[in-house]
Amino acid sequence: MVGSVTLSRPINIVLLGPPGSGKSTVSEALAAHHNLVTIATGQRLRAEIAARSVLGRSISGYLDHGQLIPDSLMDRLLRTYLDSLDPERGFLLDGYPRTIAQATGLIGIMADYQHILDAVVALEVDDEEIVRRLSGRRICEGAGEQFPIHIDDLTSIIRCRERGGHPVQRDDDRPEVVRQRIAVYHDQTHPLLEFYEQQELLLRVNAVGSSAEVFRRIETALEERIATLG
């Protein structure tokens, strides 16, 4: 269900946006509101790296340098998710596809599983705002379970230190790597916007503002989109 508009089947969404555009926060809200299974490829890939699995060792170098993961590895990861997907629930793809080649491959993968892509939500944020968001991001380590903090948020920094922890910057959040990740997005992923716009699936959403404001903008765009599907 999207607002007062419903479909006779689960809705399937792709969520696009540069790093730091708030995809994780938005995907959680969308999944909860529409009972979707979130397929967050970035989180799964980092989990594989932390576990030092065969797949994790293969991909760690790519992420550390802000590069895209080879399509063959991403396709393998996606099919693993779809194999176990509840047919009564739709899904939200967060972090995939990122290239025209992956988008073309996704068409074939979805056809294999008899799924239909209903909308592509593209979050839009200025490059310099992305650098500010990500280069200031830290992980609080040494205080029990790790949790994210930001250098602009003094309260979170104090909470981390009071618990005996210390802020640690991820390698892929260093400013030079962030700028490389943005360049990769523009060079290889941005063309997806034109690809999906030609298919009349693209919904452009301003992602600057509070998470609640961004979510409301997405909901409005989705309701208009679903109304055209009947």
pLDDT tens, residue by residue, 95-135: 789 888 889 999 999 999 889 999 999 999 999 999 999 99
Give the whole-number percent of the chain exceeding pLDDT 90: 46
Catalytic site includes residue 23: yes
List all residues 6 or more positions away from 34 whose beta carbon is below 8 Å from its beta carbon: 1, 2, 11, 90, 92
Average pLDDT of the chain, as a whole number: 87
98, 133, 217, 225: which is the annotated catalytic residue? 98
Q: Which domains does the chain have, with CATH numbers?
A: 13-132+176-229 (3.40.50.300)
How much of the chain, in percent, has pLDDT values that exceed 70?
96
pTM for this one?
A: 0.79
Which residue of the set 133, 137, 138, 225 is catalytic? Answer: 137
Q: What is the pLDDT of residues 58-71, one digit of tens each?
A: 788 777 777 777 88
Catalytic option among 44, 46, 89, 170:
170
Active site residue 98: yes
Is the pLDDT confidence value at 77 over 90? Answer: no
